[in-house]
Amino acid sequence: MSFFASKNTKFRTQGLKFDSVGFVTGFLLLTLLPVLVQSNNYILQVFTHALLLANLALAWNILGVSGSISLGHAAFFGAGAYCSAVLSLEYGFSSWFTIPLAGLLAAGLGLIMDLICLRLRGAYFALATLAFVEIPRVITDNWDELTHGSLGLVGVPGLPSLSLGTWSVDFGSSITASYYFVFAYSLVLLGLVRFLFNSNLGLAFQAIREEEIAAEAVGIPANRYRLLSLLLSAYFTGVTGACYAHLVRYIEPGLVYGLHFSAIPMIFAICGGRFTILGPAMAALIIYPLNQFVFHPLLPAGHEFLYGVVLILTVLFLPAGFWGSLRKVS
Amino acid sequence: MWTTAVVSGISLGSFYILMALGFALIFGVTRNFNLAHGELVVFAGYVSYWLWKVFAWPFVLTFPVAILATLLICLGLQRLFARLCEPLELNSIVLSFGLAILIQNSMLFWFSGDYRLIRIPTLSRGLRLPGFYLSYGQLTLLFLSLTVIAILYILMYRTYLGKALRATIQDKEAAAQAGINVAVMGTLAFCLGAILIGLAGPLYGCIHYLYPSTGHQITLLAITITIFAGVGRLGGIILAGWILGLAESFAVILYGSSWREMVAAVLLLALLAFKPRGILGKGEQ
Amino acid sequence: MTVLQLKELSKTFNGIYALSNIDFTINEGEIVGLVGPNGAGKTTLFNLISGRLRPSSGKILFEGKDITGFKPHAVCKLGISRTFQSSRPFSRMSTLHNVLAGQVFGKGFSLHTRPEDEQMAHELLDVVGIAHKAETLAANLTLSEQRRMDLARALATRPKLLLLDEVAAGFSPVLVKQAIKLINRVRERGVTLLIIDHFLNLSQKVADRLLALDHGEKIAEGPPNIVMKNREVLRAYLGMRYQNEEY
């Protein structure tokens, strides 16, 4: 039985072998990447960022699978980034501690969002998320004592180090080490998402997405489960934000709360396949490097138009996303 | 100080009305949210700026060209929106989100990220009145907005075409049953919306710096005003625009300009949470 | 034993009474037909019992317990399930998973699907006759198959009382016969049934008792042959084109 070919999946069994092939290929390529590119730092950085975005896309889709489209997930990303950055920079806590904690702050923010948006569905929920992200952004921007406002935080401590007996590695010490840190996190998150989606919770999330009223009628408390998907989604988005802060070591409100981190994970999730486990990650790992290596050099300004085009094409022609459609065909 | 706040609030609000009308009209008739709205306004502003700066056109003459350019783009957009299936509101949001990114990056490519401003010195001069100062710019905004609203009112409430539009806004299916060509109404809404956007853009370029990513804020304002007013209520939009303008003005005076950006967002969230049918409670959701 | 008791149940919308003062009892093992013309309040009654709407006044008692105002998922967990007038399948999920959702969440919750649950879901698909469509996407089922899946899904929640909303609407005589067979099979499993039947092509043949509504009020109750001859009931249906097909 390969990684995805489990009969216990809550997604239709068609296309499972395809998932396995995709995952194994991706896993091998990514594990060996530093070797394959002879430690070319630029390429490694691009793929580190791609993995980060893949994590964001996976986290976004935890909410997406229950039917809600969020246009403002950067609220959680930025909150996580700032929480971890401030705690480790100003108070000296280790990032092993601050990163998970940052996720909790983001989840708390998610709870607030749920309370506000309790009765909103579909388009109106999406609009609310668009507005919601402004609140933590403006607060962070103005809370100078804590966050240095629009100047941003400089010198954020790097990724943590791990010591097991005599062997130790500082993940912040080199680009390769950071790459493996983020890659390991991606694997963990992917495993969690797979576990979640294949469990009965995944069944509930999909039912809520499809027909909330019928879901309630068969005993699924829709609001509670939607909240759960939002909290989980916010938590992992926040954790990813924290990783980002320690990776790039400089953050400012306009960036971490910006459209880039709201839009791109969502685009990868939708274009990859909202109804699949692997799709969002696949889209991130293919489209982002494509953009960086091909389009960015051609168009230094405006190369991100690619994301707009991909989203438009997906909405109009391939609603199941490219990975979702490939699975169907396989 | 308070009179200044009120004056600036009303004139700003009048401008917001102008900016929001196109969005509200398109949404009302076609049930399509156009999240690229702000980017289109900025685009129109850029067209005007380019003609004014590079070709030294008089500012007033740039308006027709900006309007025409926006019209062409909007007709293209309408083709895309027409291909969407249910649920229209959500799908249009996602589609136009992609369009916004596309347009924003195109502008980044053509015009670069530098801040641009259409400087019309006349607009800064003004009248010194008891207690406050009224610039010609503010006066123009007020006058222009009210004129446009009046024209739109006449169109919507005094012509047969307007009646057909209002019928489509109220109930698309029933309007179709009554023999109204709903698709044509949709195209018409996009055209009218484009004209309004083409008007708002150059004005925006006078009173505000133009840069590709500023469209986002404009879209947020338009959404807030449209939801505030409830669908299909013209009067509500006027009220909504002024209230938003005043709210921002007072927020700036009380808390400083750094909190200004949060006003529209908080207002929109409050509306969605408590009164998604519009402030008067009679619009449709 | 009394399964369901409605006491002076009323529901108003903006001051208009959709249901007024309904008093009714359903006993264990019965099949009760809920009849009445358009707008009589039948679906509203279902929505009240299943928890989708809150009554404006009155009480709903299920097996003696007051469930007035309970949310739909709580009502389901207690033992009342329903189908909907227009089928509400989980479109992008397989037929099996549709029924599995009911099986897993109908009573309690478990994180992982147990083999028994999946087996039960397969069995239920077999009971309603669509076992061969287990892996088909629910959106690709025919109308009749979707209706049967709805029934299987509702049965998967192990209800004591099942509310069927227009289960035979639009059915040809052949399909109606199949529906009657299914309903009897459901009854054999020990489920009490309340069936909305707008067209009367089903309930007359299969119900023990009928409850007739008109304009939100109870106008008759009793055995089918008596209720259908009731003057009030006939008057309610007069003026409506209605065909009584003989089988």
Could you tell me the residue ranges of all domains in chain A?
16-329
What confidence score (pLDDT) does residue A6 get?
Answer: 57
Task: Select from C140, C158, C176 the last residue of a domain.
Answer: C158
b/e burial code for range B262-283 (CB count within 10 A of at least 16 → b): bbbbbbbbebbbeebebbeeeb
Shared-domain flag, residues C49 and C99: no
What domain range is B170 assigned to?
11-214
Residue percentage of chain B with pLDDT more than 70: 96
SS3 B127: strand
Top pLDDT among C236 and B277 is at C236
Shared-domain flag, residues C26 and C71: yes
SS3 B40: helix
- With a CB cutoff of 8 Å and minimum separation 6, the contacts of A214 are A207, C84, C88, C89, C90, C153
The CA distance from A304 to A298, in Å, is 11
Cβ contacts of B177-184, under 8 Å, gap ≥ 24: B183/B82
The answer to whether the CB of A320 falls within 8 A of the CB of A273 is yes
Answer whether 0.90 is exceeded by the pTM: yes
**Facing B105 at nearest CB: one of A120, A267, A305:** A305
Q: What are phi and psi of B104, to 5 degrees?
A: -60, -45
Shared-domain flag, residues C74 and C179: yes
B134: which 2 tokens? 């009224």
**Facing A316 at nearest CB: one of B80, B223, B264:** B80
Q: What is the average pLDDT value for chain B, to the nearest integer?
A: 87
Top pLDDT among A328 and A276 is at A276
Q: How confident is the model at residue A302 (pLDDT cuts 50, 70, 90)?
A: confident
- Nearest Cα neighbor of C165 from C68, C247, C47 is C47
What domain range is C68 assigned to?
1-79+168-247
What confidence score (pLDDT) does residue B285 get?
Answer: 41
Residue B121: asked if its preceding bond is cis (omega within 30°), the reply is no
Cα torsion B235, B238, B242, B247 to 10°: value is 70
Shared-domain flag, residues C101 and C199: no
The CA distance from A44 to A37, in Å, is 8
Kindly tell me if the per-residue pLDDT of A284 is higher than 90. yes
Q: How confident is the model at residue A313 (pLDDT cuts 50, 70, 90)?
A: very high
Kindly tell me if the per-residue pLDDT of B284 is higher than 50. no
- Nearest Cα neighbor of A304 from A314, A290, A323 is A290
Q: Nearest chain A Cα to C100, which residue?
A: A203
b/e burial code for range B125-134 (CB count within 10 A of at least 16 → b): eeeeeeebeb
What confidence score (pLDDT) does residue C242 get?
Answer: 47
Q: B178 to chain A nearest CA, in Å?
A: 28
C abuts A (3+ Cβ pairs < 8 Å): yes
Give how far Cα B176 sits from Cα of B185, B187, C167, Å: 10, 15, 32
Kindly report the CATH number assigned to the domain that includes residue C237: 3.40.50.300
Shared-domain flag, residues C119 and C73: no
Q: How many residues does chain C have?
A: 247
E-assigned strand segments in B46-90: none
Most confident of the following: B133-147, B269-283, C67-81: C67-81
Whether the predicted interface score ipTM is above 0.85: yes
The CA distance from A89 to A104, in Å, is 18
Kindly tell me if the per-residue pLDDT of A90 is higher than 60. yes
Hey, how many other C-beta atoms are within 10 angstroms of the C-beta on A119? 12
* Mean pLDDT computed over A33-62: 92
SS3 B98: helix
What confidence score (pLDDT) does residue B283 get?
Answer: 47
Answer yes or no: is C163 within a domain: no
Q: A11 to chain C nearest CA, in Å?
A: 7
* Tally of structural domains, chain B: 1
Q: What is the average pLDDT value for chain A, to the nearest integer?
A: 90
Which of A168-177, A235-244, A269-278, C2-11 is predicted with the least confidence, judged by mean pLDDT?
Answer: A168-177
Q: How confident is the model at residue A2 (pLDDT cuts 50, 70, 90)?
A: very low
Shared-domain flag, residues C50 and C111: no
* Mean pLDDT computed over A163-179: 85
- Which chains have at least 3 CB atom pairs separated by less than 8 Å from chain C? A
Q: What is the DSSP string of C36-51?
A: -STTSSHHHHHHHHHT
* Mean pLDDT computed over B160-180: 88
Shared-domain flag, residues C74 and C103: no
Kindly tell me if the per-residue pLDDT of B121 is higher than 80. no
Q: Looking at beta carbons, which residues of chain C come within 8 Å of A219?
A: 73, 76-77, 102, 105-107, 157
Residue C12, beta-bridge partner list:
C17
Burial (CB count <10 Å: 0-12, 13-18, 19+), residue C203:
buried
What confidence score (pLDDT) does residue A1 get?
Answer: 35
**Facing B102 at nearest CB: one of A131, A301, A305:** A305
In the chain, the amino acid numbered C151 is L
The answer to whether the CB of B79 falls within 8 A of the CB of B206 is no
Shared-domain flag, residues C215 and C173: yes
Shared-domain flag, residues C173 and C71: yes
What confidence score (pLDDT) does residue C120 get?
Answer: 92
Terminal-to-terminal C-alpha distance of chain C: 34
Answer yes or no: is C96 within a domain: yes
Give contacts of B 56-95 with A, CB under 8 A.
Answer: 80, 83-84, 87, 89-95
Pairing of strands C192-196, C57-62: unpaired
Give contacts of A 13-72 with C, CB under 8 A.
Answer: 13-14
Q: C110 to chain A nearest CA, in Å?
A: 7
The answer to whether the CB of A302 falls within 8 A of the CB of B213 is no
Residue percentage of chain B with pLDDT more than 90: 35
CATH no., domain A16-329? 1.10.3470
- With a CB cutoff of 8 Å and minimum separation 6, the contacts of B213 are A259, B104, B113
* Mean pLDDT computed over B223-232: 84
For C178-207, write each residue's pLDDT tens digit. Answer: 888 888 989 998 999 999 987 777 888 889
Q: Looking at beta carbons, which residues of chain B come within 8 Å of A305?
A: 101-102, 105-106, 109
What confidence score (pLDDT) does residue A8 get?
Answer: 67
Q: Residue A12 and residue C135: Cβ atoms within 8 Å? A: yes
Q: A208 to chain C nearest CA, in Å?
A: 9
Which of A189-198, A216-225, C29-38, C236-245 is predicted with the least confidence, judged by mean pLDDT?
Answer: C236-245
Q: Looking at beta carbons, which residues of chain C come within 8 Å of A8?
A: 112-113
Hey, how many other C-beta atoms are within 10 angstroms of the C-beta on A330? 13
Q: How confident is the model at residue A173 (pLDDT cuts 50, 70, 90)?
A: confident
Q: Residue A219 and residue C100: Cβ atoms within 8 Å? A: no
* Widest Cα–Cα separation across chain A: 57
For C89-135, write each residue's pLDDT tens digit. Answer: 999 999 999 999 999 999 888 888 888 999 999 999 998 889 999 88
Q: Which residue has the tokens 């938003």?
A: B244
What confidence score (pLDDT) does residue C245 get?
Answer: 40
What confidence score (pLDDT) does residue B118 get?
Answer: 83
Give how far Cα C120 sits from Cα of A203, C52, C114, C133, Å: 16, 27, 10, 15
The CA distance from A17 to A330, in Å, is 9
Answer yes or no: is B60 within a domain: yes
Q: C113 to chain A nearest CA, in Å?
A: 6
Give contacts of B 153-212 with A, CB under 8 A.
Answer: none
Shared-domain flag, residues C25 and C62: yes
Shared-domain flag, residues C210 and C108: no
Which of A136-150, B89-103, B126-140, B261-275 is predicted with the least confidence, judged by mean pLDDT?
Answer: B126-140
The CA distance from B19 to B201, in Å, is 8
What confidence score (pLDDT) does residue B232 get?
Answer: 65
For C31-86, write each residue's pLDDT tens digit. Answer: 999 988 888 889 999 999 999 999 999 999 999 999 999 999 999 999 999 999 88
The CA distance from B207 to B216, in Å, is 17
* Tally of structural domains, chain C: 2
Answer yes or no: is C146 within a domain: yes
Terminal-to-terminal C-alpha distance of chain B: 39
Shared-domain flag, residues C59 and C122: no
SS3 B273: helix
Residue percentage of chain A with pLDDT more than 70: 96
Kindly tell me if the per-residue pLDDT of B233 is higher than 80. no
H helix count then E strand count, chain B: 12, 2
Q: How confident is the model at residue B12 (pLDDT cuts 50, 70, 90)?
A: confident
The CA distance from B109 to B102, in Å, is 11
